[in-house]
Structure formats: structure tokens, C-alpha cells
Chains A and B, each alone.
Chain A
């Protein structure tokens, strides 16, 4: 180890706080990005594994009409067409009331057709202990993994009450499937049952959900396609996972970019730290240079220091990420279950890409942010190093140029954002220059704030006040970065906060207009925003017969799998009074409704956006009679699904689809009659075992808002984390700042300044820094919010939102900024005030 490295290490060792905080800052930045990645990747992996467990080795699938595939088609394909590698599947979700909210997938298979598909079902894979005979002949028998049965605290031979499509059923736990390390996750929360039991449990009649196939070549595919009747579709097996990935795409990108925002704050921090360490050692570096150390060696020294910090920070970041991701996964899977599909994420999965990205961000970003400080250090002239004010005056000289460049960069960002594109990444790319440009204008704002506050401080606090305010300016090369980092973190809070609150009030307004009935009836569903269970048709007749019912709406949801996409179709039996609940973005309402009644479809805004459709376009939908064209009559504002909805009149729907039953019924109660009495009457209706959710307007509104709030829980958590990073940043820079001013403050102390006065100076100073950061953060936050609402959300989801700045968010942000700065100043202030002047004045 040469003496230069030793000197460098000694420096780091002698400044453990500064070193530790820098490492912590890097660690937090890395941790946030990595943990978001892990959470995303784990949920995707869990979903894919559960899909693979179900899809097995199939290459293709035949999906049926809205009712499924008739048993006879399967037999026909096997016997008449002699297709060997095919297997019938019924897939459903069951929830287990006795075990909290645990959801299992129910997979109905024909064990004799399974061998080529799901190898865990081959005969050796099944522990026969429970009896395969039961599995085949005893109704409702299921097989499950050892882990699952232990989780349920059951044994083979036990029975289990479950809820399937809103009806209670009793399963018989017939036996165990052998777990191997390969299939362990695939078997998680999975019941395997005989196709006959599955048909009976799900009450599918003589229908199955789909047929798995292994096709070897195109010609087999084509032959089969030609043979299939209208309404049946042959598609590649991966398409379900693909559809799921597509669904999650925008959502994931937004999470990732929020995490990148945290990283940008982290990078500022690293830059800040490295700059400090250079500035602080100017004398030392000058001395080194004068004894013959070359400028290249100095550069190398600084880079090496950055590397060490980067590596340690990255390692620590991964450790943090592990814990943070565990929490994020809980939020994330809740959101996915609320919005998209059923998934249970119980394990953390990490991909090499995530690790590389983490290392890249932690180590290389640290190195890159050290380049400028290292270059500055190498430029230190042996003589000029002794002049302490050199750096500061040079920054002050640069302020006008920095400001102009900053504004230019911001404008450049604006241009990128203005480019007409649907690309979300491009939008995020546009945010970066806005942020950097804004940071460059920080010194100017500091000067202005100082100019305004210096007289005020002097008046209020006398000489200590003036000293406090002046020193911010005197140390501007260091303070501006700390202030900019804090401002950025607070601005992120403001931006995300305004976006969420704007979105929230938009959604509430929309819900209030749309939910215009009094009572809502549905079957228990596993996905909050989707009704997968179906109410029997007789129920509507029974509800109609209740005297107090004035009017009603009903609808049927259907997920159409077509061409690798999943379309969410709503067949709506709307009472005319409910038409007013729809606000059209495109289309004249009277005309839209006229066309709607004649068979045209209306699209929700995100659907039209995603699929590039407008009024007058033609939409192809997979009906039970094959692909059919539908004219688009109107586009309405809707926030129910980011995937978008296609709405068709119920009577028209029944012309093209055979699916029976309703997903939901909305009831208008006659004036003057208490809603609760009608609710009780509906609840008391005979439904043949079908459980009903009968909920009032108020309940639906509240629970919808609850789901909305849950969705943004992650965003809020990330917001909090980036504030923590910023807090670490400002703590670290204040520590350095105060430490660096040891001699200056020592002289003041020696001249009679009391420790309490010194503490006051530090606090007054940090208050002003917090205030400056807050002042910077508010406009930047509003700019970010504007970008998020009008560009990012629009491009990700196609949503039009009302932009609404809540004053409370701005006030909170200001308080946050000041409090964070003050808190960060307490320890350095305390420490400085306790240092004896003699020690402080002693040269190192």
C-alpha cells in the first residue's frame, strides 16, 4: 500500500460520520431501486410459476366460447381427429374462509391425459398414500403439496370448506403430491382435482375451460385451426403470461421510475459527499501536489475512495433491499390482487439482471458522480490550495452561467416531454433534465433567499443571525448541493402527492357520478376490480319482484382472450336514468346512446388509448360465433381499470355471446324507503347456496376509495424512502460543513462566542437551508406533478385527470423540508458547540 492510499484511507477513517453517511446514502439509493426490482420480479416470477404449474409443457391451448369448451369437442378431437397430446383443464380460484384470506388455485385435470403435460402428476410423482381411487371416484377430492396441507393445518383424509364462485363447497384432501425443488413453488397454493370434480365444484355443466396441446409444427396447428368451430381459438400457451406481463407493464415501469427518482436523490448525495471530501482536503491535496504527487495520482485516489464507498454502499444496499422488498412485496401483491389477477408471492426471487443493475447503480454511479470532484481535485494548484476562499468565489462567479445552463437544460427536458410519444421511458428521460436543470439554478435561489433573509436574520437574531445566513453563501459550493438534494426529495414528495390527490379526487367525482344506485349486489370475487363470480339469472327476477325496488341496472363481465390480448367486456343492462353517470370524452351523448342501443360499443378512455381507437373506429371482438366487428360509438371517462373496458348493451351482448348470469345488479330504491330494509330483503332471497354481497352506495364508494388508496401505498412508501435518503444527504453535508468550519468556529469560540450561541448559529443556518430547499421544492414539485398527471399517467394509462393542487400538500412539504434540515443540524451543531476552541484550532 503506497503512502497516498494510506493517506486516503486515514482520511476516510478519521471522518467516520461522513464516510458512514455517504455509504448509507449510497446503500439507501441502491436499496430502493433493488427492492422495487425484487418486488416486481418476485411477483412476476410467482405468477409465471403458478402459470407454468398450470400450463405445464403445453405449446398451445384451445380456448372456447364465453361458456367454455363442451366436453364433446374434446372427445371428438381425441377420437375423430386422433390428437394424442391433449389434456382438458378447468381452472378456478378458491378461497378458504377458515384460513384468513388464503386463495388457492383449483386445477381440474384428467390424470390419464396428463403425462405429457404436467410431470408432477405422473404416477411416481403422486404419493398414493391417500388413494388415487378416491381422487377419481370420490367427488371433490383434491391433491395438494405437503407444504400446503401443513399450512392449512390438515391431514390427508380431512375435509376442507372452501368458497368457489361464491358458493361453499367441501373438499376432500385425498392425497399429497411429491414436492421437489423444481415444482415446489409451482405447487404452492394449488389444489389438483379430477376434471369431473372440477366440473362439479365450479358448476360448469358439461364444459371445460380450455384444452392443453403439444403441437409439433405449423401444419398440425393449421389442421387443427381449420377443424375448430367458430368461437374456438387455438393460441400459444405463453399468451396468458404475456397478457399478464402486458397488463403489469405500465404499473411496473411507474414503480421502477419512482425508485429511480430515489436514486437520483442518492446520486446527488454521492456527488455531494465526494465534492466535500475534495474541498475539505484542498490543503492536504495542495501539500501532496507540492511534494510531487501528480494530478493523475490525485484523481486516482479520489476515484479509489469513491470505489470503496460504492462497493460497501452497494453491499449494504442489497442487505437493506432484502428487508425492504419483503415489505414492498406485501403491498405489491395486494395491489396486483386488487387490480389485475390472483397471485400469492411468498418467496423472494432475484435475477442476475437485478444484481447487475444494483451494482451498476451503486458502484458505477458512485464512480461517475466522483469524476467531477476528482477532476477538481486534480486541478488543485499547489499554491492556490492554501487560499480557502478560492472555491467559493469560483462558484459565485459561475452562478450566472450555471443558471443559464440550468434553464437551458430544463427547456431541453420540456422539449423531450413535449414530443408526441406513448413511450413512458422517454417521458421519464425528459424528467431528468428538468431536475438537473433545476438543481443548477439552486445557487441563484440561495443568493436571492440569503439577500432577503440576511437583513431579517440580523434584525431578529443580531450578529449570530447574520453570521448564520452569510455562511450559507460563503460555503455555497457545499450548501447548494445539500439544498438541491433536499429540495429534490421534497419536490418528489410534492409531485407524487399532488398527482395522487388529483387522481383521487378525480376518481371520487367519477365514482359519485357513476354509482348512482342505492344497493349493489354481486357474488364474492377474488379480484376487487373484477367480478369473476356470476349471479344466477333468476336473482334479477326476484329482485324485480320486491315492491320497494324502483329501478335496476345489471351487467355481465367477460374477459375475452384474443390475439394475445385480454379485453374486459362489460355487457350492461343500464336503466336510462344511469346514462347521466357517463361522461363522454368523444361522442355526442344522445347520439352515442342511440348507437349503443343499436349495438355499437362504447370504450373507456384507457381502452381507447391503449388500442388507438376513436369514435367511428371498428373493434374486432371474439364472440361465441367467431370474430365480429363492432363500431365504436363513444369514449367515456372511466377509472375502473387501467386496462380499459369495452361496454356493450346487454341485449346486444346476448346476440353474440352465450354466457349467462350477471356479474352485478344495481338497485334503485323508491323514494322515502330506507335502503337498509331493501338490502335486508335482498340478502334474505333464496339463492341456492350462492353467496351474495349486498352493499350500499356508501359502502361501495368507501371500499373503492380504499382500494385506490391501497394501490398508492407503494408510491407513498417510496416517497417516504426518498425523503429518508435526502435526510441522510442533508445530515451528511451539514456534518461535513460544520466539521470543515472547525477552525472558523474555533476562532469565533476563542473570541468569546458561547457554545449556546454557536449551537444557535448552526440551527439558524439549517433552518434557512431547509426553508430555501422548501422554496425550491414547491415549484419543482408542481412541475413534477404536472408532468406526472399530464404526461406520465396519460402515456402510461391514458387517463385524463383533474389537476388539483392541495395547499395542505405544499404546507406539509415546507414543514418537511425545514424539519428535516433542522433535525439534520442538531447533532453537528451540538458537536461543534462542545468542541474546545483549542482542539478546533489545532492543525491536523
Chain B
């Protein structure tokens, strides 16, 4: 469940809209959700029925679906105890399903976009960048064997023959003028299928859903470079894989999404779909993964999510900036605080996505943790 908005933006970008694209997120999301739910060509595959996930094939691209992404976030600590967060995502969008045979190597019906961000928590700084490319002329693409997803030199590469929990060791690499990352990732918990056995319904109506699986804990080590300074870091990442053709319904405005890694080796994923009136949609839901890697679905009614603070962007968009999440049935009560207030991705479509700190109680004991939160549609 990641950055749907951006994908929608891409679709608008491609399908066209003669109105000037509005600058505010809400302006976008309304128009774009329409574009998104509207399968113009009508021949893309849709996420309607449950399916069997097969690996390593499903790590690779699903060109029959309009959109897809490979999403990584993580919280890391350097040897001298500096804290960092990162986000790195490569998106794929198909312009149409059929790729007619053309002579030019450049011809392409797939567009790739990537977002990259580093949060220097100790330094209270946030760095981000964005890229676009076609998949023609090998500038961007995704393949299964060896597993590789790339947009120019921003790349996800398989670095081991053998797979653990169906996932080979990965190297991810990205950078901007100001910050660079180069990490090796290794799954230490099995993948989980989100939603109903991997079919994640996002809105009402058949097909407004995605196929969705996550690796909620990947051991991560490598280097972060900020300016001329290089840090050797260790920590944990979260990987999401999702593909779909349409997802949002007309009355949905955006979402708040939480990926929380607790230090007792529990992970919690929860997303709250917001309706136009700001209330939470019934399709909001989440998953709790215990230390053994077994998932358990939580429904909207199981979760109490309260906003405790706000942050306003320089251009006047007000975002929640602190939460209390309670899951009484599981005896969980967590206080979530952004690691840095301003972790807004000021890119083609603006959204807030950032590292968070977690403190609270689980079953009466104190727990801590780190995680990532994504806020769209504000």
C-alpha cells in the first residue's frame, strides 16, 4: 500500500487532462482518483480474484497490470550512533497493455518513476529526489532472472544465488546530488500476503484492489553518504510489492499509512483510507505480524487512531504530525512521533513520507520501535 497517489499522478500525466494540473494534493487526488479508477483501454488485468503468489516470478514485473511498485523504507543507525531513515521506490506504469512491435529500441509503453529520500534524523535534515524514464533503450526496467529493477543508476539488484524466504539477497542503490545510499538487504522474516491472501481491496467496486505482499523485516547494512560524509549503517528495512490496475473509488481522498517495526520483533501495518469528508473509510485495515512471522488482519473497528499534533508545510498544507494508535483487542497502545517534522516529498505529487519513532506499551510492557508513515491527499 504505497504512494498510490503518485501512480495516479502518472496516469493523469499520461492519459491527459486539459485542465492545468493543480498544485495541491487534494486537487490532484480528486481528479486523479477518477483517472485511476477509469481503465481507459479496458484491457488491463484487474485484481479481482485471489491468486497464488509464485516466486521468484512475482518479484518481477506484471505488465498486464497498469501500475506496480517496488518499495523500500528503513531505519538505520551508524557506527557512531547517528540515526537515519530512507525511502526508495521504483514505480512502473503501463501506457497501454499491448506493446506493438516497433523498430526503435526507444519505443516503450512502460514508464518508470522512482522516489528516493534520506532522513538524517540526528542532523534534522531531509533529502529527496525523483526520476522518470521510459523502459526503452534499457534505461529502466524490471526482470526476474537475475532479479533486477532499475531506473538508470537507481537500481535494485539480486546479489545472491540462493533465496531466503523466497527472496535473494538484494543490493539497492540510489542517490541525488546531496545524499546517496548503497545497502545490502536480506529477509529475516517471511513475506506476508496483505489483505485477503494478497488481494487488497482499496475501495468499493470490483477491481478497485491490488495484489500486495510485504517483507516486513529485512536486515540492512551498507553506506549512506550525505554530502562528502560517508556513514556505515545497520538496521532494518521494510519492502512492499503491489500491483493493480485501478484502486480508488470516487469518494476517497487519500490515506494515512503506517509501517511500524517494534523492538520485540512485531510489525504492524495499518492504513486508513480517508473519505472526502475526512472520515476513515471502511476499507481501512491492517496486519499485525508476530515475531514468528505469522500475520493477523486487523479491521478498522479494531483500531483507534488519534492525531496528536500537526505540521504545516511552507506552502500551507497541514499534515498530521503525531499519533496515538490503540489496538485494544491486542493490548497495544503506541505513541508515534515523526523523527523529523519536515519529511515532505516535494516532487511531482507532493506527499509526506517519513521516518517515525515509536514508544508505548504492548501487553503492559514498554515497547519501542521505528517505522515509516505515509500521508497523502492533504
Contact = CB atoms under 8 A, between A and B. Distances in A.
Interface string B91-115: 0000110001011111111010000
A88 B105 CA distance: 13
A194 interface: yes
Contact of B137 (A74, A123, A124, A132): A74
B314 interface: no
Nearest to A82: B153
Interface string B138-157: 11000000000010110000
B310 interface: no
Interface stretch (B17-25, B232-240, B252-260): B17-25
B104 A136 contact: no
Given A78-B152, A133-B15, A123 B134 contact: no
Interface in B39-95: 95
A132 B16 contact: yes
Interface residues of B, number: 30
B109 A139 contact: no
B14 interface: yes
Contacts of B111: 112, 136
A129 B107 contact: no
Contact of A110 (B106, B150, B153): B106
A359 interface: no
Given A71-B137, A75-B139, A112-B134, A123 B13 contact: yes
B284 to A, nearest CB: 32
A75 B137 contact: yes
A200 B104 CA distance: 6
A124 B21 contact: yes
B132 interface: yes
A82 B100 CA distance: 30
B139 A133 contact: no
Contacts, number: 88
A196 interface: yes
Most chain A C-beta atoms within 10 Å of own C-beta, residue among B18, B102, B105, B150: B105
A127 B152 CA distance: 28
A31 interface: no
A344 interface: no
A127 B18 contact: yes
Given A136-B14, A136-B108, A78 B95 contact: no
A132 B136 contact: no
Contacts of B107: 137, 139, 194, 196, 200
Given A79-B152, A128-B17, A128-B18, A112 B106 contact: no
Given A74-B137, A124-B21, A137-B95, A199 B106 contact: yes
A80 to B, nearest CB: 8
A129 B136 CA distance: 24
Interface residues of A, number: 32
A206 B153 contact: no
B103 A200 contact: yes
A128 B14 CA distance: 8
Contacts of B20: 124
Given A123-B21, A199-B106, A137 B16 contact: no
Interface string B251-270: 00000000000000000000
Nearest to B175: A82
Nearest to A78: B152
A131 B100 CA distance: 18
A130 interface: yes
A194 B106 CA distance: 9
A71 B132 contact: no
Interface string A109-130: 0101100000000011001111
Interface in B1-41: 13-18, 20-21
22 contacts: A71-B106, A71-B137, A72-B138, A80-B153, A110-B134, A112-B132, A123-B21, A124-B21, A130-B16, A131-B15, A136-B108, A137-B96, A137-B100, A137-B107, A139-B100, A139-B102, A175-B16, A194-B106, A196-B136, A199-B103, A200-B103, A206-B105
Interface of A: 71-72, 74-75, 78-80, 82, 88, 110, 112-113, 123-124, 127-133, 136-137, 139, 175, 194-197, 199-200, 206
Interface of B: 13-18, 20-21, 95-96, 100, 102-109, 111, 132-134, 136-139, 150, 152-153
Given A137-B108, A199-B103, A199-B106, 6 more contacts: A79-B138, A112-B111, A128-B18, A129-B18, A175-B16, A206-B104
Q: When A and B form their complex, which 5 residue pairs have the shortest distance between CB atoms, in order from nearest?
A: A128-B16, A196-B106, A196-B104, A196-B107, A199-B104
